[in-house]
Structure 1
Amino acid sequence: MGIFRRSTLLEHIAQIPNKMIPYVKKKLETLGIEKSTEKSWSDLSIDQELLDKLKESMDDINKYTNPIVILPNEKKIVQEIKTSVRKENVNNLTRTSAYLKVFNKYPEVHWALLAHFVSRNGGWNMTDLKGSILSGFLSERAQKSYFTFLERANAAIFHDAYPQLLLYEASRRDKKSYSHLLPVFGVSKFMIPIWEEFIRSKNSKLLTVALIINEQHYIEERIVQNHIFQENVFNTWQYQVQEAFHLVHVLFPYATKSSIRRIAGHKVVNFRNVEERVNIGKQLYLILFGIPVIYKECYFFAKENPHTGSREDYWPHMFSKGEQIKEEWHSCWDKGKPFMYSPTLTHAWENIDNPEPIKGDWYLNKGKEIFKLFESNSMPGSFDVTNEYCKDLYEMNMIAAVKNTLD
């Protein structure tokens, strides 16, 4: 149920102007913070000569499609990686933790920290389905459908990406490239020259953008275009309301001198478009790694706050892992007792067995046209979404209140 269930909808509509005053006041403060915050990157660009070289290497795709000869020592590596993937691909909590462990060891692999935070957000979205934010907005059947979609996407990306990260670890350890083994794990041939270049040059931006492109295309036909998820998730009125009001963010909790942790991030719009998802991924990368204070504080947050799936992890003044304490709204900027229920993942959902992703190489259907997605992106003009997210919480609960009134 929404937080307004004890009062009439009309009473809360009348209070909207007063509720939004803190948002308006804090907007100017946000603009000041964004203007004064140092940015180490102005854009996300990759050397065109390098991209042309990689594009040419894809002309000889046949060299990557020949039968792979696995040497005895490589068989052991392959088996160890498959075992590790099964062990860590249990649920959103284990995946999120695994990404962070990789980044802690190899900070040049920027994508691992980005994946950690995107996966954290996936967990928060999963528990929202059982918490104050969405439980009164969705039927039990809809909750299950949304969770299954989020879980399958999270698990599929991990199934594809984590072997790549572990092969890189083996390559570092043995001081030789094992990129030729990527197809053994079902990874697209697109990633072989990318990893070979990264092992040689440690070009973090190239690898990160390539992994964003790869993972979003990996889930496109397997998950996003799946007719079951199209019908039970994307075509539902609840999803379309969230899209219409732009109510979904990927959040990066970071700290300032304020006693309330601020939030950086980016809106998620037009999720069904794979190129838009790639663009959002690149924008998130710019924010997380291109703004030193965001990187420093977010990395500190990740290390100091184990992922539980509850939004209490970053805003304990608003969210509680326990049941709702009270139902009276207070501003996101005011410290007080939490009143919105945000359960842990283990309390909200049981582990499920995800099917093996469908085999196939997405790149073979796309070809070199995909390289246009490496085009430069500018640093977003706005990166602090604290106020926007606070407003979104209020709007989601108003929508839930309207639904409850009409039911």
Structure 2
Amino acid sequence: MLLKSELIKKQRRIPVNEKFLTLEEKGILETIRLQTARWNVNNVTRTKAYLDFFCSYPDIHWAFLGHMVSRNGGWNMTDLKGDIVSKLMNDETKNVFFSFLERGNWLIFQDAFPQFLLYSESVKRNKNLFYLLPYLNVSVFMEVIWEFYWSFQDRYVLAIAQVINEQSYLEHRIIHNPKYKDKVLNSLQFLLQDFLSVNHILFPFYDDKTIALLGQTLQQFDSLHERIMLGKRLYRILFHDREQFEKFFYWAISNPHTGSRKDYWKDVFNDINEGVPGKYTRRLNKCKLKSGEPKLYSPVLKIAWANVKHPKAEVGDWFTHWNVIHYLKQDDQKFNGEIEGDYCDALEKLELAAMAKNLIFK
């Protein structure tokens, strides 16, 4: 197999040194770094950048997958300051959870977006520039994949390879980072959310004039295999049916990402707090508000959290063996992506947990 042989060859890495590049090549790299930094400010700017790129280059499917998943990242961030989840955590825990979500979101963008920009430059010049990827600290795995895509235009292989790459990239920088492993992944709150099945990735779309949801639930966040398989399922939900894809895309371009869950359920969530401070009563019944109850507070990101100045990404290439290409095979697994019922059940369980917080966490 071509990919296997190319990956084996590339494993014998040659150290890179920019002093051997031309002025044009150095200029391309500098522009890419500046553009990436410009958009890598917060979850809202990153999420917008993914969608804008996809609108310009619709063959790069991961850009839309990244956009939709990044929306979920923003909603998880603002949940920490919203009506339900915030009542299960003290301020210190909220800050650690936000740091965990924000760092992961930042890391993926600073790895993925330079690849997109280099692809754009390659298209504009009608020239393969992917030999410059190592200068952007991108894995040799993706260098091989982009060269393969340039020759064969296999959109599925490129998208799933990017799923593999980004989740592998996070493995040691986030998942096995002691800062997060003890305080987030092993914490009681994380286990509680896992138990209540609220690690949902939601993809909203218009079903006639109403909003419907498809998606998937991730139960084992600390499993690289499970995260890659989740990414493959999410890709299938978005792209396996052209008509359904158009519904997702139309919703996305019609509803700019703010970080508030009001973006998709205006009947349930509001970015203005309608509730009584310090008091929470049960408000939901099958994801509909009970008569007379205030909407759930879900703030916009810019109100919930300040921008973060990140330290540089940890160096090092995750790629060690060609066998990861087995994930590139298409799966025959059948699933429908239905998630709305499970998500509504989880919200109601979280409501009960919020109301019983003094019994759980005292």
Q: TM-score range by the shorter chain?
A: over 0.9
Q: Distance in 2 between matches of 1:302 and 1:292?
A: 15
Paired position in structure 2 for 1:81: 32
Paired position in structure 2 for 1:234: 185
Q: Say if 2:59 is the partner of 1:59.
A: no
Q: Distance in 1 between matches of 2:122 and 2:265?
A: 40
Local SS of the residue matching 2:265: coil
Q: Say if 2:51 is the partner of 1:100.
A: yes
Deviations 1:233-271 (A, max 9, x none): 0111110111123221100001113x5411000001101
Paired position in structure 1 for 2:269: 319
Among candidates 72, 95, 106, match of residue 144 of structure 1: 95
Q: Please state how far the C-alpha of 1:173 moved relative to its aligned partner.
A: 0.2
Q: Distance in 2 between matches of 1:116 and 1:358?
A: 24
Q: Please state how far the C-alpha of 1:325 moved relative to its aligned partner.
A: 4.5
Report the TM-score when normalising by structure 1.
0.83
Among candidates 266, 269, 278, match of residue 228 of structure 2: 278
The amino acid of 1:274's aligned partner reads: L
Q: Please state how far the C-alpha of 1:331 moved relative to its aligned partner.
A: 3.6
The amino acid of 2:33's aligned partner reads: K
Paired position in structure 2 for 1:360: 316
The amino acid of 2:344's aligned partner reads: C
Paired position in structure 2 for 1:217: 168
Local SS of the residue matching 1:377: coil
Paired position in structure 2 for 1:33: none
Larger RCO, structure (CA 8 Å, separation 6 or more): 1
Which runs of no fewer than 5 residues in structure 2 stay unpaired? Answer: none
Answer with 304-313 or 376-385: which moved more. Answer: 376-385
Answer with 335-344 or 99-108: which moved more. Answer: 335-344
The amino acid of 1:263's aligned partner reads: L
Paired position in structure 2 for 1:401: 355
Deviations 1:131-176 (A, max 9, x none): 0121101111110000000000000001110000000000000000
The amino acid of 2:341's aligned partner reads: N
Local SS of the residue matching 1:264: strand
Local SS of the residue matching 2:284: coil
Q: Say if 2:253 is the partner of 1:298.
A: no
Q: Distance in 2 between matches of 1:333 and 1:198?
A: 46
Paired position in structure 1 for 2:345: 391
The amino acid of 1:373's aligned partner reads: Y
The amino acid of 1:394's aligned partner reads: E
Among candidates 79, 91, 100, match of residue 128 of structure 1: 79
Paired position in structure 2 for 1:187: 138
Paired position in structure 1 for 2:297: 341
Which runs of no fewer than 5 residues in structure 1 stay unpaired? Answer: 1-51
Local SS of the residue matching 1:284: helix
Q: Distance in 2 between matches of 1:260 and 1:391?
A: 20
Q: Distance in 2 between matches of 1:405 and 1:83?
A: 50
Do 2:88 and 2:357's aligned partners in 1 also have CA atoms closer than 8 Å?
yes
Q: Please state how far the C-alpha of 1:102 moved relative to its aligned partner.
A: 0.7
How has the CA–CA distance of structure 1 residues 297 and 284 changed in structure 2, closer, same or farther, with 3 Å as cutoff?
same
How has the CA–CA distance of structure 1 residues 306 and 335 changed in structure 2, closer, same or farther, with 3 Å as cutoff?
farther
Paired position in structure 1 for 2:65: 114
Local SS of the residue matching 2:203: strand
Q: Distance in 1 between matches of 2:287 and 2:94?
A: 26
Do 2:11 and 2:140's aligned partners in 1 also have CA atoms closer than 8 Å?
no
Do 1:136 and 1:404's aligned partners in 2 also have CA atoms closer than 8 Å?
no
Local SS of the residue matching 1:261: strand
Q: Distance in 2 between matches of 1:230 and 1:66?
A: 32
Do 1:127 and 1:342's aligned partners in 2 also have CA atoms closer than 8 Å?
yes
Paired position in structure 2 for 1:8: none
The amino acid of 1:395's aligned partner reads: K
Q: Please state how far the C-alpha of 1:380 moved relative to its aligned partner.
A: 4.0
Q: Distance in 2 between matches of 1:354 and 1:216?
A: 19
How has the CA–CA distance of structure 1 residues 338 and 311 changed in structure 2, closer, same or farther, with 3 Å as cutoff?
farther
Local SS of the residue matching 1:378: coil
Q: Distance in 2 between matches of 1:143 and 1:293?
A: 39
The amino acid of 1:159's aligned partner reads: Q
